[in-house]
Structure 1
Amino acid sequence: MIGILAVQISFGQPAEDADDSGAISTIAAQPFGTVVLSLMLVGFVALALLQLLEVLLGMGSPGARVVAAARTVLYGILVATIATLLFAGDDGDSGNEQARDLTAWAMGLPGGRFLVAVAGLVVLGVGLHSAYLGLTRRFLADLRTHQLSGPARTTVAALGAIGYPARGVIMIFAGLFLGQAAVEYDPDEAKGVDATLRSFAETGAGPWLLTVVAVGLLVFAAYCCFDARYRRL
């Protein structure tokens, strides 16, 4: 959904904010949207618990646990967003507004500026790790590739090689914006996914750069279907 909305933005079509909240609001407006959101809520709760268990049980390398901790927070925010929309009937703020509000709250804490800077580094690190996985195709080690035929294995490898870097680019820029907010002590510099995507459209490459990233997100969505089916446990 984020990829589709990003494509709409890249060509100047009216669209909701191209972030998680915008995608969730778009789904809610569709027929049977409440049913779909309820299923998504269960799924994101499961994802958040899975990532939390990876942190608490010390699964994987220290770097992998840091990534799992970041994902736990991300999925927790999505759970709160969907639950608010389902049970409170609140459309919710855009991801950009949420990013600024959360950053402003964090900066109000003792050592808040340092916390925001660390958060920016974590998001940046997760983005770099995502890009690294795609460029090196290390993600294939997490799949039961022996169960895939030759053409299917080639397809999955191509989807991941394109999708992981696309997701990584967005997170890298989001992390940089958080770092800028910490350096300038200005919560308004923090940007959600929607503002990060729009910043691509404002570059010299214009909407084409955003289109490439948006298509990359759609490709990553296709890869995730294979990941869910063939994930190595």
Structure 2
Amino acid sequence: MNTRAMTWRGRAGARRAANGSVREGAARAGLTARGVIYLLVGVLALRIAFGDGRRQADRGGALAELADKPFGAALLWALGVGLVGMALWRLTEALFGAVGKDGRSARKRLLAVARCVFYAFVASSVLAFAVDRGKGSGSSDRQSRDLTARAMELPAGQWLVGLGGAVIVGVGVWIGVQAVRRKYHDKLKFGELSPRARRLVDVTGVGGGAARGLVFAAAGAFIVRAAIAYEPDRAKGLDDTLRSFAGTPLGPWLLVCVSAGLVLFGVFSFALARWRRV
């Protein structure tokens, strides 16, 4: 009886260890894939700032950039699979809890559900792009305008669009504040970081997170403006949002700073893939 119980416990422990390894692998693959997308979007936005606007600075443009490279199809599939891993990792957080003292709280679980849905959508779009190599895929700007127009046709659609835009603004502010406060420290394996690695993480985490938050907030503000004016065409996707920074009094230099920040966030995602506690 004791031998049988010990055998069962051993198998259960091995199963938990395997599940942990799968979860960790999915998380690290997902963070790496996210880093690639942000890095490419940032580089494309930098090209726009310096006068080369041939390719859109959004996820579609980033995927098209990858598709043009040697072994582009394989790279696209690897990126899509990595993002599937990201979605599955967030799903496990929703079901079983995340790392940290409040990882099992309802708030963290709901946040994990939202992230799971978001990354499942992103993964599906990347895999769809890989299947047909971008045929029929629209820009983020057109998709944003079309989605806003459809939402406005719903009952109380104008209010719903405005509320959605306000939520995105709030998410952007929250992302920026969390980055500046360096809240990501709570999730890192600090014992494995050398002083140089810690500086790298802080430079990329603060700069990249602040730029990412600014882009989210700006995109949300455009949606709110579209709702107030009842003009769906005023909504902007990622590409148009980034280009709008060049139209400010600071000119293209603001776009350069934001674009460099997105590149930093890509590098920060790679650092998380290496040192984040999962």
Is the pair's TM-score, using the shorter chain for normalization, greater than 0.5?
yes
What letter is aligned with 1:29? D
What letter is aligned with 1:32? F
What letter is aligned with 2:257? V
What letter is aligned with 1:87? V
Q: How far apart, in 2, do the equivalents of 1:189 and 1:7 lie?
A: 24
Pick from 122, 132, 143 the counterpart of residue 188 of structure 2: 143
Q: How far apart, in 2, do the equivalents of 1:120 and 1:53 lie?
A: 28
Q: How far apart, in 2, do the equivalents of 1:51 and 1:70 lie?
A: 9
Q: How far apart, in 1, do the equivalents of 2:97 and 2:155 lie?
A: 29
Q: How far apart, in 1, do the equivalents of 2:51 and 2:109 lie?
A: 39
Q: How far apart, in 2, do the equivalents of 1:165 and 1:194 lie?
A: 18
User: SS of 1:92's equivalent?
Assistant: coil
RMSD of aligned Cα (Å): 2.1
Deviates further, 110-119 or 210-219: 110-119
Map of 2:253 onto structure 1: 208
The change in CA–CA distance for 1:53 and 1:142 in structure 2 (over 3 A counts) is same
Whether 2:264 is the aligned partner of 1:219: answer yes
Map of 1:86 onto structure 2: 130
What letter is aligned with 1:17? Q
Cα distance per residue 1:168-222 (max 9 Å; x no partner): 1000101111111222222111111100000001111111110011111111111
What letter is aligned with 1:102? L
Segments of structure 1 that go 5 or more residues without pairing to the other structure are none
Q: State the aligned residue count.
A: 233
Pick from 61, 64, 83 the counterpart of residue 25 of structure 1: 64
Map of 1:231 onto structure 2: 276
Deviates further, 206-215 or 106-115: 106-115
Q: How far apart, in 2, do the equivalents of 1:70 and 1:168 lie?
A: 17
Q: How far apart, in 2, do the equivalents of 1:17 and 1:146 lie?
A: 40
TM-score, normalising length: structure 1: 0.90
The change in CA–CA distance for 1:44 and 1:111 in structure 2 (over 3 A counts) is farther
Q: How far apart, in 1, do the equivalents of 2:114 and 2:244 lie?
A: 23
Map of 2:155 onto structure 1: 110
Q: How far apart, in 1, do the equivalents of 2:182 and 2:81 lie?
A: 30
Q: CA deviation at 1:67?
A: 4.8
Whether 2:228 is the aligned partner of 1:179: answer no
Q: What is the percent sequence identity of the aligned residues? A: 41
Segments of structure 2 that go 5 or more residues without pairing to the other structure are 1-39
